[in-house]
Structure 1
């Protein structure tokens, strides 16, 4: 295989992984036009169309699907081989691609960036702040942060903190006008602020528990947002009831700007974890990053595997 052949196939795999020429080009650090030309060259060389492209959608042809199914595992193995070789270095260094939802990044990474770079100046963190659910291996990330309920069996998971709890909250003004729900079912009669996870078509259903049994309530209201921060800001302004992490709304509750509702129905659940792919040789940069955040926020803990 010539070097250009490998570059074309790697570009094709990146487009499939990201589902977008723009995001794949950013990942490969080339322009979208260069990437498009590279894919055309591959299709011309093979004499096959690999991708169906329109201005709004991107999908694999049958030939493209067959090629990707065979080549993607080989590409992953080649990159793992390179990572294994790089793991022999004594000093953690190089680019580390990290995927983090916004609340995890704000809570666990932002406050310790200065200390991290004092400890590991040769590591380049390439951090994507994104609340969408992703397959970190397919998307090319080295490490991701996710809640315990979303951990995958084939990943190593390291706890970043303790359990979490979400609270329903509203402003004193809203409660004065509309009253307070006494049970989660009462939310159906209230103005609630909905949240849609980026990349998801459906709305998040609010989760409660009683006597160890969890259940969900699909609420309705005047506002749907993809940013939880906006939901909380709207709740403070009396738009309706919001639902978010206790540690993030607690300062507003203590300041009297929000009132906690349905506390007896809001149970704890597993908190945030760092996760990465199980490998024979975990890279020094991954180990350094995970160990640093683990010690910074929890002290030493044993990874879940």
Structure 2
């Protein structure tokens, strides 16, 4: 097969997996028109249509699905073998792609990785800030970083942080005009800052806990955001109450811009973990990154070691699931 055919198949696979020329173009660093031309040329050479195109969607045809299912894994095996060969060099090299939410990149990953990059000039790290729960294998990420309860059972996971405490916070100015809440029923009368979940588009219900009993509370308010940074800033401005992780709220609590309430209602969730497919070739570059970002004493985990509440997959932002309103 001509080399250009292989390159064209790589482009087709990206479009078929993304089901979008726009998203595939962004991932490959090419223009949308260039991708469309490449796929049309591949279809012409093969004499068969590979993609069904409409004004709103792109999907593989029967021939395209066969190509995607049978050829894509072989190309990935070739890439893995090439990575293994290049890994025989003494110096870690290559590109490691990591997906995590923005605050985790800022506060955990970058501070730990920045000092080692000058030592390994052939090592490249690409960060993807995304609040969606991605399939890291399908989306071709080497490492995903999420809370421990979000890690799929077939992944290898390494702890990055201790368990995470949650907090309900508001500004001193807000509490000058509003009584501090003491119960879940009180929260329903407050202006609460809410989070829209990236994948489902639904509003996150606050996952509280009282006397060991979990309570999913659907709160309401004037402001809705898609990330924790903006929620924290809105709370500082006096907009209302926010439900955050303690590490995100810590700077504001320390200088008095935020005040914590209802501490006995705020549960602890499993800490952050880096995870990667168990079937993936473990290169020196990947091993170096994992060893650099791992929590001291952090080991691989299994689902059995997670608390029972954790398996319900709370999301800050976390995996989307159905919530019930609490009126008590």
- TM-score when scaled to structure 2? 0.84
Task: Give the structure with the larger helix fraction.
Answer: 1
* Shift of residue 145, structure 1, vs aligned partner: 1.0
Q: Which moved more, 1:269-278 or 1:45-54?
A: 45-54
The match for 1:200 is 200
Aligned to 1:268: 268
| 1:37 and 2:37 are equivalent in the alignment | yes
Q: Bigger CA drift: 199-208 or 149-158?
A: 199-208
User: Unmatched 5+ residue regions in structure 2?
Assistant: 303-328
Counterpart of 2:5 in 1: which secondary structure?
Answer: helix
What is the CA-CA distance between 1:56 and the residue it aligns to? Answer: 4.2
SS of 2:169 mapped into structure 1? strand
Residue 161 of structure 2: aligned partner: 161
Deviates further, 141-150 or 195-204: 195-204
| Of 13-22 and 239-248, the range deviating more from structure 2 | 13-22
Is 1:10 aligned with 2:6? no
Segment drifting more, 259-268 vs 113-122: 113-122
**1:74 matched to which residue of 2?**
74
Stretch of structure 1 that moved more, 105-114 or 225-234: 105-114
CA contact (8 A) 1:101 1:129 kept: yes
* Superposed CA offset, 1:14-34 (max 9, x none): 123334323323433333322
CA distance 1:255–1:79, change in 2 (3 Å): same
Instruction: Compute the RMSD of aligned alpha carbons.
Output: 2.1
Match of 1:303 in 2: 300
Tell me whether 1:96 sits opposite 2:132 in the alignment. no
Q: How does 1:69-218 map to 2 (within 5 A)?
A: 69-218=69-218
Q: Which residue of structure 2 lines up, in the alignment, with residue 226 of structure 1?
A: 226
Q: How far did residue 160 of structure 1 move?
A: 0.7
Secondary structure, in 3 states, of the residue corresponding to 1:89? Answer: coil
Structure 1 residue ranges (4+ consecutive) displaced by more than 4 angstroms after TM superposition: none
Match of 2:278 in 1: 278
Paired residue total: 302
| Cα offset, 1:53, TM superposition | 3.4
Q: Distance in 2 between matches of 1:122 and 1:183?
A: 54
Is the alpha carbon distance of 1:247 and 1:159 closer, same or farther for their aligned partners in structure 2, counting shifts above 3 Å?
same
Higher mean C-alpha displacement, 21-30 vs 264-273: 21-30
Scaled by the length of structure 1, the TM-score of the pair is 0.90
The alpha-carbon deviation at position 54 of structure 1 amounts to 4.4
